[in-house]
Amino acid sequence: MTGTATCCPGLWRAEGSRRLSIRMSKYLLFFLAVSAFGQGQVGGVQQGASGGGAISPVPIALTDGATISTNAALGNSFKVTLGGNRALAAPTNPTDGQKAMWIFVQDGTGSRTIALNSVFTFGTDVTGCVLSTTASKTDYLGAVYNAANTAWNVVSCAKGY
């Protein structure tokens, strides 16, 4: 791909033949490592038939249940509709430096909560993540895996979309 293709104005920008730059947002960090652009799906990114134009992450559907499991080897974006108060288990198969986004959608009832496994750690900027309570609203949790600490460092929590 040559030239410039944009998606999600202000968040993504693909430039040149193999470079993806991402504009950072304090509340919504989203990263993808894309080594090449082409037809179909590359690294969890759905691309246009021409290999150009808009790109968008394809969230991996998670199974709703008392404890929600994530296989981090499957992608970087994960989505689940919460049908009750849930716990997010420690993701399996992460890689050091992996950036991931969990998308939580409230069901038609709303007021669902998510308890994070202790491998999810918070810093001084993002000190916790309480989901929105409105039915059908979407919340986002972004984290980066630190293999040295066996921890997912939570870098963003955005809610109420």
pLDDT in tens, 27-54: 344 443 332 233 334 444 444 444 445 5
Are residues 106 and 154 located together in one domain of the fold? yes
Enter the tokens of residue 157: 């929590």
Percent of the chain with pLDDT over 90: 64
Domain that holds residue 38: 4-57
What per-residue confidence (pLDDT) applies to 55? Answer: 54
Are residues 131 and 143 located together in one domain of the fold? yes
Query: 5-14, 50-59, 124-133: which has the minimum mean pLDDT?
Result: 5-14
Are residues 50 and 112 located together in one domain of the fold? no
Are residues 12 and 52 located together in one domain of the fold? yes
Alpha carbons within 13 A on the beta-carbon side of 89: 15
What per-residue confidence (pLDDT) applies to 9? Answer: 43
Among 41, 40, 18, 44, which Cα is nearest to 31's?
44
Are residues 65 and 139 located together in one domain of the fold? yes
Are residues 77 and 151 located together in one domain of the fold? yes
Are residues 146 and 74 located together in one domain of the fold? yes
Confidence of residue 10 (pLDDT cuts 50, 70, 90): very low
At 154 the three-state DSSP class reads strand
Overall number of domains in the chain: 2
What per-residue confidence (pLDDT) applies to 58? Answer: 87
Among candidate residues 21, 40, 57, the one where a domain is terminated: 57
Are residues 53 and 64 located together in one domain of the fold? no
Are residues 116 and 74 located together in one domain of the fold? yes
What per-residue confidence (pLDDT) applies to 57? Answer: 72
Are residues 42 and 112 located together in one domain of the fold? no
Mean pLDDT of 95-119: 98
Query: 5-9, 77-81, 141-145: which has the minimum mean pLDDT?
Result: 5-9
Are residues 38 and 87 located together in one domain of the fold? no
| Cross-strand partners of 6 | none
Are residues 51 and 89 located together in one domain of the fold? no
